[in-house]
Amino acid sequence: MLNPAFDLCRSEGALTWLFSTAFKATFIGSGSLLVACVEMWRQAGNTLHGVVTLCPVATAWCDRNGIGHIAPSDDQAA
């Protein structure tokens, strides 16, 4: 038996909506894997709120690309 969510995605128009909708996210992580994931996210046309990281590689990349970043210990509400 198929998953009902899978059946919904196969329904007429659902895939068009799914792939034409931009999503929004904040990424948490470190290193080159974080950078690669954020680059793929942005290339897909999605919105990036920012990055939460302590990693010098990731923060330097964020600075070069104009992406806001905070450390996990920073005040998240500020």
Question: Each residue of 16-43: pLDDT tens digit?
Answer: 455 556 789 999 999 999 999 999 999 9
CB atoms within 10 A of CB 9: 12
* Residue ranges of domains in the chain, CATH in brackets: 22-78 (3.40.50.720)
Structure tokens at 55: 């990693």
Q: Which residue has the tokens 């450390």?
A: 71
Question: Each residue of 46-71: pLDDT tens digit?
Answer: 999 999 999 999 999 999 999 999 99
Given a contact cutoff of 8 angstroms between Cβ atoms, the answer to whether 55 and 61 are in contact is no
pTM: 0.67
